[in-house]
Amino acid sequence: MAATFDFTSKVVLVTGGGSGIGLATATEFARAGAKVAIAGRKIDRLEAAAAEMRESTRAEVFCHAADVRDLEQCQALIEAVVGHYKRLDVLVNNAGGARHAALRNASLETWRQDIALNLDSAFFCSQAAYPHLKSAAAETGHAAVVNISSLAGNNGTMGCGAYSAAKAGLQMLTRVAAAEWGPKGVRVNAVAAGMIATPLAKANWAKVGFDATKACAAFPLRRPGEPEEVAQAVLFMASTSASYITGETLIVGGGPQIKGMIDTDD
Directed axis angle between helix 20-31 and helix 199-208, to 10°?
A: 160
d(CA 83, CA 89): 14
Q: Exactly one of 85, 130, 163, 244 is catalytic; which is it?
A: 163
What sign does the dihedral 230-232-238-241 (CA atoms) show? negative
Q: Find how far residue 32's CA is from the centre of its chain.
A: 17
In the chain, count of helices (H) and strands (E)? 10, 7
Q: Find how far residue 264's CA is from the centre of its chain.
A: 35
d(CA 29, CA 19): 15
E-assigned strands of 50-200? 61-65, 90-93, 143-150, 186-193
Directed axis angle between helix 71-85 and helix 121-140, to 10°?
A: 30
CA–CA distances in Å: residue 22 to residues 27, 219, 232, 243, 258: 8, 24, 12, 23, 30
Q: Cα Rg for the chain, rounded, in angstroms?
A: 18
Does the annotation mark 244 as catalytic? Answer: no
Name the residues annotated as catalytic.
163
